[in-house]
Amino acid sequence: MSGADQGEGQLIYGRRAVAEAERGRRAVRRLWRAPETPDDELEGLCGSPDHQGVVAEVDPYPYADPGSLLAADDALVVALDQVQDPHNLGAVCRVAEVAGAAGVVIHERRAVGVTAAVCKASAGAVEHLPVARVRNLADWLGEAKQAGAWVYGAEAGAPTAHTGVDWKGRAVIVMGSEGGGLRPRVASACDVLVSIPASGRVESLNVSVAAAVFLYEAVRQRAPSG
């Protein structure tokens, strides 16, 4: 599940996504820019009108070894349970990279991978953030606990608030899919289910916004006193 096949490349688009790829881990094989390349040709290449005047062919995405994400004593990892929207995955990766997370874990199947749309939605964060794929998330969470990590599952209405747990040391926050939340076996693999207190009428936050709340609570707790 780790590494990249150096065969057929991947087309990505958007100014930030391409700029980060140029200074990231992947080789940029070819670049198309406006006005040298007409707008309709750029759209035809990448399949999106959101190319912002630049398309690039890069090496295939180098997925990380999922076991490597918890190597550090203070590793903070986001695990996503079958998230299928590329914009949500991209936004989660963006906040995870900015917050200093060790990486993001996604499903190998029944979930979106690191596509061109994810690259753009992450503003290029996926070029620097390790993203790993696993066949069975519940099993991987069990391995994470054996490695010394505390696993916290995000669930609306859970009695424990996100501020009421210890985010220091190795920690994993597990976020559920759009509209479905955590599947029962994944939820049961967590040490504690935690929620973000809500006072409004809307049921829950977008997964990327909720991830930001959890991650920055962890950042706050880990910051040196004073």
Q: 15-59: per-residue pLDDT in tens? A: 999 999 999 999 999 999 999 999 999 999 999 999 999 999 999
**Confidence at residue 39, expressed as pLDDT on a 0 to 100 scale:** 92
Residues 82 and 132 in one domain: yes
Who's near 171: CB < 8 A, 6+ residues apart? 75, 76, 77, 149, 150, 151, 152, 218
- Residues 144-160 have a mean pLDDT of 95
- Please check whether residue 135 lies inside any domain of the structure: yes
Residues 37 and 121 in one domain: no
Residues 128 and 16 in one domain: no
Residues 105 and 162 in one domain: yes
Confidence of residue 203 (pLDDT cuts 50, 70, 90): low
Residues 90 and 180 in one domain: yes
Confidence of residue 5 (pLDDT cuts 50, 70, 90): very low
CA distance 13 to 87: 14
**Regarding predicted confidence, which is higher, 217 or 110?**
217
- Please check whether residue 138 lies inside any domain of the structure: yes
**Regarding predicted confidence, which is higher, 206 or 125?**
125
Confidence of residue 205 (pLDDT cuts 50, 70, 90): confident
Indicate whether 166 pLDDT > 80: yes
**Confidence at residue 7, expressed as pLDDT on a 0 to 100 scale:** 61
We report the CATH number of the domain holding residue 128 as 3.40.1280.10
**Confidence at residue 199, expressed as pLDDT on a 0 to 100 scale:** 76
**Confidence at residue 200, expressed as pLDDT on a 0 to 100 scale:** 74
Residues 192 and 138 in one domain: yes
Residues 155 and 200 in one domain: yes
Q: How many CB atoms sit inside 10 A of residue 216's CB?
A: 15
- Please check whether residue 47 lies inside any domain of the structure: yes
Residues 139 and 207 in one domain: yes
Range of the domain at 156: 66-222
Domain count, the chain: 2
Residues 50 and 85 in one domain: no
**Confidence at residue 8, expressed as pLDDT on a 0 to 100 scale:** 81
Kindly tell me the burial class for residue 140, based on how many C-beta atoms sit within 10 Å of its own C-beta (0-12, 13-18, 19 or more). buried
**Confidence at residue 226, expressed as pLDDT on a 0 to 100 scale:** 41
Residues 92 and 148 in one domain: yes
- Please check whether residue 4 lies inside any domain of the structure: no
Residues 25 and 103 in one domain: no
- Please check whether residue 182 lies inside any domain of the structure: yes
- Please check whether residue 217 lies inside any domain of the structure: yes
Indicate whether 108 pLDDT > 80: yes
Residues 141 and 70 in one domain: yes
Indicate whether 94 pLDDT > 60: yes
- Please check whether residue 192 lies inside any domain of the structure: yes
Indicate whether 3 pLDDT > 60: no
